[in-house]
Amino acid sequence: MNAIVINDINVNFEVVNERVFINSLELSKVFEKDHSNVLKAIDKIPNDEFKSQNFKYDSYFDKKSEQRRMINLTRDGFSLLVMGFTGQKAYKWKTQFIKAFNLMEAKLKSLKSIEQTNRIANLEAIAISKENYHKSQINGYKAQLAKHNEKIKLLKAKLTIAENEAKSLSNDEELLKKLEWLFKRALADGVIYAINSSRDKIINDALKRATDEFMSNLHLLKNQ
């Protein structure tokens, strides 16, 4: 989050787990105190649950590139620490810090609100997309079903024609010729399939197909 200038010091407010923090180093500069004294004041605070929640230990590198200790404070931690800071300047800087905390927390709430709004919008978009996908699938199934129904109608019509042709055969001679033609056609299809495949199993399958087709056609020719 953006820094806020207090007493000509850029105070950086950081958000961790949706909580706003400031660090003890910048706080000491604003209140014109030695940072070591600020740390000592924090160390004197009892090590209880309040302290563990509102004072988080951290570090920084000084001008000599040496690592130094600092502490991040929440609004409540800041309020407890500066309670004993007195004087007109201290009062002014306290109020400016409180205003800055309010501003940062308001920004955080605004960002959370925008994030939640975006999440809701994304969920709604996903729901609409899924709904459209399911509708598309349903329409596809309906179209396939319609095609199948048309095929069924066509097969029924062909069956009727075959039955009528069988009934129209006037004598055994005509029936014999018809059966012979059907058998030759089925057998020819099976043999061609077997030759193209050139495998024993395929040949056996082809002969079975030829027999099955012949028997199927024979059934159609039975008098009803």
How do residues 125-139 score in pLDDT, each as one tens digit?
777 777 777 777 777
More confident residue, 122 or 162: 122
- Mean pLDDT in residue range 213-220: 61
Q: Is the pLDDT of residue 173 over 60?
A: yes
10-55 pLDDT per residue, tens = 888 888 888 899 999 999 999 999 999 999 999 999 999 999 999 9
Residue 130, both tokens: 């899924």
Q: What is the 3-state secondary structure (H, E, C) of the chain?
A: CCCEEECCEEECCEEECCEEEEEHHHHHHHCCCCHHHHHHHHHCCCCCHHHHHHEEEEEEECCCCCEEEEEEECHHHHHHHHHHCCCHHHHHHHHHHHHHHHHHHHHHHHHHHHHHHHHHHHHHHHHHHHHHHHHHHHHHHHHHHHHHHHHHHHHHHHHHHHHHHHHHCCCHHHHHHHHHHHHHHHHHHHHHHHHHHCCHHHHHHHHHHHHHHHHHHHHHCCCC
Please check whether residue 191 is in contact with residue 206, taking contact to mean a CB–CB distance below 8 angstroms.
yes
pLDDT at 214: 61
Q: Specify whether the CB–CB gap between 186 and 210 falls below 8 A.
A: yes
Nearest to 104 by CA among 134, 130, 133, 74: 74
pLDDT higher than 60, residue 219: no
168: pLDDT strictly greater than 70: no
Q: Are 183 and 214 in contact (CB under 8 A)?
A: yes
The per-residue pLDDT for range 59-113, each reduced to its tens digit, is: 999 888 999 999 999 999 999 999 888 888 889 999 999 998 988 888 888 777 6
CA distances from 2 to 70, 92, 111, 207 (A): 20, 21, 14, 84
Q: Which residue has the tokens 């502490």?
A: 71
Among the listed residues 27, 26, 12, 23, the one whose alpha carbon sits nearest the alpha carbon of residue 85:
27
C-alpha to C-alpha distances, 21 to 48, 71, 94, nearest whole angstrom: 19, 10, 15
Confidence class for position 224, pLDDT limits 50, 70, 90: very low
Is the whole-model pTM more than 0.75? no
Q: Report the chain's C-alpha Rg in angstroms.
A: 45
